[in-house]
Structure 1
Amino acid sequence: MDVLEAIHSRRCIRKYTDESIAPETIKELLSAAMSAPSAVNAQPWAFIVIDDRKLLDEIPTYSPYAAMARNAPLAILVCGDTNLEKAPGFWVQDCSAAIQNLLLAAHALGLGAVWTGIHPMEDRVEGFRKAFNLPEHVIPLGLVPVGYPVQEAGPQDRYMEEKVYHNSYGKK
């Protein structure tokens, strides 16, 4: 699958088989995530691989839009480590790029995944902070449940000319 095909055909997948994901595949996903660009090449991310069924089942109790974690064999918690920042405040962009790489890699490997937001919702941040023993300088940005997809979602053309301006907002 080439990059443009992956970009245009990747969709959020929320239903998975119970098939486990091989350690080599997990490493490949994380390697893709860590290949993302980051401000001043700081790479201020930290990843927690969650495959403990009890932990996955508890996630929706403090992150209500992550109910699919209950049927995922795996989830990856993507956090920003503010102690590693060289350009303060850019950890959100850096970790977002890592999550997008992770989603594309999952799709290319035949896996399904979905990005569930955590930061800046303080109740969700605190829930993940407590559940995974995160220190104050490590902020959870998003959780990505991953698995072999049960559902299919095909490509969609999402291009909208009305959202494109040239040289100035509102100028066509």
Structure 2
Amino acid sequence: MNTIFNRSSIRKYQNKEVEAAKIEQLLKAAMAAPSAGNQQPWEFFVIKNKATLAALADCSPYGGCIKDAAVAIVPAYRKEIMMPDFAVIDLSNATQNILLEVTELGLGAVWIGIAPLADRMENVRKVLQIPDQLEPFAIIPIGYPIEPAPQSDRYDATRVHFE
């Protein structure tokens, strides 16, 4: 699966809209992620409004690129689920699926971590008016990349241990 080896963090985007069909495909990829006990705790906020994107950019010291994205997806998880300790793992799986599908569709994105930092989570909650029963997890700004950013080879044989 070459997509894994081509995925990289993209923070600079063209001034070009991302098509609705591609956004839907990203959400389908997210919801295809494995989930503990099949609990699927996820909800997704899709943001295209430039003022809201600019406000989200201020929610993290690493969020500057959000304001220039065509769209951002904010995964959130429901608190009232059967295995709450696994929600962040489930959301990590869903977020990674989005990032891989972004690459497959010729788009670019970066994972802006929000959870588990309470202040950043609260900032995102306020901007998007996320209800209390949901916890914001991350911000994924998405757009057409200005330039490709090839992934470096990260394989390190010294970190592999065979029995």
Residues 109-141 of structure 1 deviation map (CA, whole Å, 9 limit, x = unaligned): 000010000011111011011111122221111
Partner Cα distance (1:82, 1:138) in 2? 6
Structure 2 unaligned segments of length 5 or more: list them. Answer: none
**Residue 142 of structure 2: aligned partner:** 146
Report whether the alignment pairs 1:53 with 2:53: no
Using the size of structure 2 for normalisation, the TM-score is 0.96
Deviation at 1:28, TM superposition (A): 0.5
> After the TM superposition, which residues 118-137 of structure 1 pair with which residues of structure 2 at under 5 Å, given as runs?
118-137=114-133
Partner Cα distance (1:155, 1:127) in 2? 31
**Residue 35 of structure 2: aligned partner:** 38
CA-based RMSD: 1.1
> After the TM superposition, which residues 73-92 of structure 1 pair with which residues of structure 2 at under 5 Å, given as runs?
73-83=70-80, 85-92=81-88
Deviation at 1:38, TM superposition (A): 0.2
Equivalent residue for 2:8, pick from 11, 34, 44: 11
Partner Cα distance (2:109, 2:7) in 1? 9
Residues 51-88 of structure 1 deviation map (CA, whole Å, 9 limit, x = unaligned): 000000111222221110111010000111122x2222
| Paired-residue identity, % | 40
**Residue 152 of structure 2: aligned partner:** 156
Equivalent position SS for 2:85: coil
**Residue 68 of structure 1: aligned partner:** 65
Corresponding residue pairs, total: 163
Using the size of structure 1 for normalisation, the TM-score is 0.91
Bigger mean CA deviation after superposition, 132-141 or 29-38: 132-141
Q: Which amino acid aligns with 1:117?
A: G
Q: Which amino acid aligns with 1:69?
A: I
Report whether the alignment pairs 1:115 with 2:111: yes
**Residue 26 of structure 2: aligned partner:** 29
Partner Cα distance (1:125, 1:88) in 2? 17
**Residue 103 of structure 1: aligned partner:** 99
